[in-house]
Structure 1
Amino acid sequence: MACLYAVSNHIEKHYHIAVIPKKNGGTRKLSVPDILLRTIQRNIVKYVLPERFVSQFATAYRLNASVLMNACPHVGTEQVLKLDIRDFFHSITFQMVYQSAFPAVYYPPAIRMLLTSLCCFMDCLPQGAPSSPAISNLVMKPFDEYMGSWCEERQIQYTRYCDDMTFSGNFDVKKLKLKVKNYLYKMGFELNEQKTKVQRQYQRQIVTGIVVNEKPQVCREYRRQLRAEIYYCGKYGVESHLQRMGISGGGSESPQDPERYAQHLLGKINYVLSVDPGDKYFLEKRDEILLLVKEFRGDSIISK
């Protein structure tokens, strides 16, 4: 217990700032905890935060959650509305965490304060801490339950994957958006207007990377790129393919190491198959890449 208080009293010493590039340009700042604090936060998630608090409409950061779970309710609907919460984690304050993640009905004041201090940094929920995703679901539970109930009464499908909210069905987009905006404002959040998207039936409807017009399917661009990577690995070999791409080298601990690249491909294939388990091409290629991974592992053991 003394260790926990020592860490919480000097929380700033246990973080460092990491800047990573975003896929669509720009950068994102992460507040990354050190090993000690990271271990504490993981234990808080595992032993302190019970799964029962999470809303059924939250489809990320929970047991058996996935992008597919988030996308499936929206398959074959008339229209899809996608809304995004601006600066999601940084908008979740110390007080929000204190009230929602560690409520008085379960914890005495001193323990509530200690746990909140261990999970917050600079008066907000740090993006980069392992406890932040689970806590964000607890903070968003009132919104999820209210909007989920409101939508069900009107035969509208609603899911939330982190800061991405998806609504589908037959509804007035402006009315629904205003409803969401007003409730979020009361909680201390705001919409990222630039990320609002409406997708009609005659357009390609994509929810968390999955096309949902007729059946759940991974975007064709993703599949095409993956097919190309697999093809060139088969034609030139993994190491030669990496050299052709200009990303080879670095030894066994490098992310450009052939074994790691093969594992990376295997992960992407498994993702496609999780959405479409009957895809014959990727089922066949999964077996081929799996053999490659085993061969690389055998070579590395022999070389040692």
Structure 2
Amino acid sequence: MDKLSNAWMVRGARSPTWGLARDSHHPPGAGYTEGRPPIDSPALYRSLGRRNGVTSSVIDEALEQMRRVRSQGLTPVLTLGHLAHQTGAPYLYLRRVVQRRQDPYTEFSRPKRERGKSRTIAAPAPVLMDVQRWLLTNVVSPIPAHGASYAYQQGRSAVQCAQLHLGASWLLKFDLHDFFHSVNERTVQSILRAVGYNSLVSFEMARVCTRVPGGITWPHIRSAYQAIPGYSAPVLGYLPQGAPASGALANLAARPMDEALSSVADRYRMTYTRYADDMTFSTLRSLDRSTLTRCVSEISAAVSDARFRLHRKKTRVVPPGARKIVLGLLVDGERLRLPRHTRRGLEDHVRGVAKFGIGAHVEHAGYSSLQGFVNHIDGLLAYGHGVDPAWSKPLAAQWEHLMNAAGLTAQERRLW
């Protein structure tokens, strides 16, 4: 075990210190002392570290870690205590989360685009939510995802993703089964290690971003941190769907798969995109049965090699002449269009709320929660606006009027 892994964070009288125990070899940043902000200047950092009795070798290692991480546009995090300092979260709270001593998530159902189907969302408690948002902004988002990935990234959208398949003759559509749950804490730790964070804090940040709910039996591989009380766990955590950093981390975990699938697409002169768990290949070339069989087999192998799984029932091969839909949008022309059933469905929901009231309509439509229904309609209207604003604008205005009348203003809904 290296000297970083043997480290212990010491608690001061009021909160964890951001210096070192005199007998510790973990460099949490000699310049992080109680009540003081981080010191960016290496000279000041070194001076304060020596004043606190930290050895030169430990200071050198901490400075090297910070240099490595900053060179990639990331914010240095040297220890769990340093993370607490950066985010304002209580150190002992983060320690309990890392030790898996509590499950600070609330589960609820959110409807899928398919009528009558829903997905389970796990929302972190407010303190953990804030920490995960900080990690997303300062640690995860600056790490580039693959160019074929379009979800969970600023400046990229489903509309942009679908546009790449306009006018194609053939579509091959695949869906990843349990996309988030396929990414465990060890994969997250490896991602963070690869960009320069030390092994222990990568492990701790991975624990902060993953979850072990009841009923999960993912096998646990012996941790390098068994000596730290509470850091051993019977099973591995995975990315919870609904947590701020999960989407971006899943994209990074899928990067090797995206690289392999892009190579497959190049060999068959296809365009490949992935939007979260939806993967699409398209081409103008003619494809015979044997070519299709080989292509699908190579795609399946690449997904399996990357430790993801295809949802076999959702695999679709769409030939020339058939209606082509990518991410809920028609792509069989020169511009994107909303399918007729999507338009009708939205219009029916708005009409139903106007006629019967939101509570009665939610119950009649079979949604499990009012909040889930409202979020669903808000999302579809925003989606429609990006494709056909002339159609969606008056419908969105009517919807906002109905929401205001029900006491559900846009400002209140943003706080959900």
Q: Which residue of 1 aligns with 2:45?
A: none
Q: Does the 8 Å contact 2:264/2:295 carry over to 1?
A: no
Q: Which residue of 1 aligns with 2:282?
A: 168
Q: Which amino acid aligns with 2:339?
A: C
User: How many angstroms apart in 2 are the aligned matches of 1:153 and 1:264?
Assistant: 39
Q: Which amino acid aligns with 2:319?
A: R
User: How many angstroms apart in 1 are the aligned matches of 2:106 and 2:402?
Assistant: 34
Q: Which residue of 2 aligns with 1:184?
A: 303
Q: Does the 8 Å contact 1:31/1:129 carry over to 2?
A: yes
Q: Does the 8 Å contact 2:330/2:336 carry over to 1?
A: yes
Q: Which residue of 1 aligns with 2:203?
A: 113
User: How many angstroms apart in 2 are the aligned matches of 1:166 and 1:206?
Assistant: 10
Check 1:11–1:75 CA distance in 2 against 1; reply closer, same or farther (3 A cut). farther
Q: CA deviation at 1:210?
A: 0.4
Q: Which amino acid aligns with 2:343?
A: R
Q: Does the 8 Å contact 1:67/1:208 carry over to 2?
A: yes
1:45 pairs with 2:126 = no
Q: 1:73 aligns with which of 141, 161, 164?
A: 164
Which has the larger strand fraction?
Answer: 1
TM-superposition CA deviations, 1:47-98 (whole Å, max 9, x none): 1113342111101111123221221111110111111112222221222111
User: How many angstroms apart in 2 are the aligned matches of 1:19 and 1:267?
Assistant: 15
User: How many angstroms apart in 2 are the aligned matches of 1:178 and 1:80?
Assistant: 15
Q: CA deviation at 1:38?
A: 1.7
Q: CA deviation at 1:200?
A: 1.8
Q: Which residue of 2 aligns with 1:242?
A: 357
TM-superposition CA deviations, 1:192-242 (whole Å, max 9, x none): 111101112311111110011002111111112334455x47xxxx65442
Q: Which residue of 2 aligns with 1:135?
A: 249
Q: Which amino acid aligns with 1:224?
A: R
Report the TM-score when normalising by structure 2.
0.59
1:273 pairs with 2:385 = yes
Residue aligned with 2:103, SS: helix
Residue aligned with 2:159, SS: helix
Report the TM-score when normalising by structure 1.
0.79
Q: Does the 8 Å contact 1:57/1:158 carry over to 2?
A: yes
| Structure 2, unpaired ranges of 5+ | 1-80, 82-90, 213-235, 364-368, 410-416
User: How many angstroms apart in 2 are the aligned matches of 1:36 and 1:150?
Assistant: 43
Q: CA deviation at 1:178?
A: 1.2
How do 1:1-304 residues align onto structure 2 when only pairs under 5 Å count? 1=81, 2-3=91-92, 4-10=94-100, 12-18=102-108, 23=114, 25=116, 28-100=119-191, 102-122=192-212, 123=236, 124-169=238-283, 170=285, 171=287, 172-214=291-333, 215-229=335-349, 232=351, 239-242=354-357, 246-247=361-362, 255=370, 268-277=380-389, 279=390, 281-286=391-396, 292=401, 296=405
Q: Does the 8 Å contact 1:60/1:162 carry over to 2?
A: yes
| Structure 1, unpaired ranges of 5+ | 249-253
Q: Does the 8 Å contact 2:268/2:295 carry over to 1?
A: no
User: How many angstroms apart in 2 are the aligned matches of 1:228 and 1:207?
Assistant: 23
Check 1:295–1:120 CA distance in 2 against 1; reply closer, same or farther (3 A cut). closer
* Larger RCO (CA within 8 A; separation ≥ 6): 1
User: How many angstroms apart in 2 are the aligned matches of 1:176 and 1:32?
Assistant: 38
Q: Which residue of 2 aligns with 1:251?
A: none
Check 1:106–1:200 CA distance in 2 against 1; reply closer, same or farther (3 A cut). same
Q: CA deviation at 1:17?
A: 4.4
Q: Which amino acid aligns with 1:103?
A: R
Percent identity over the alignment is 28
User: How many angstroms apart in 2 are the aligned matches of 1:148 and 1:161?
Assistant: 14
Q: Does the 8 Å contact 1:86/1:192 carry over to 2?
A: yes
Check 1:225–1:18 CA distance in 2 against 1; reply closer, same or farther (3 A cut). closer
Which has the larger helix fraction?
Answer: 1
Structure with greater Cα Rg: 2
Check 1:7–1:83 CA distance in 2 against 1; reply closer, same or farther (3 A cut). same
Check 1:185–1:226 CA distance in 2 against 1; reply closer, same or farther (3 A cut). closer
Q: Does the 8 Å contact 2:141/2:153 carry over to 1?
A: no
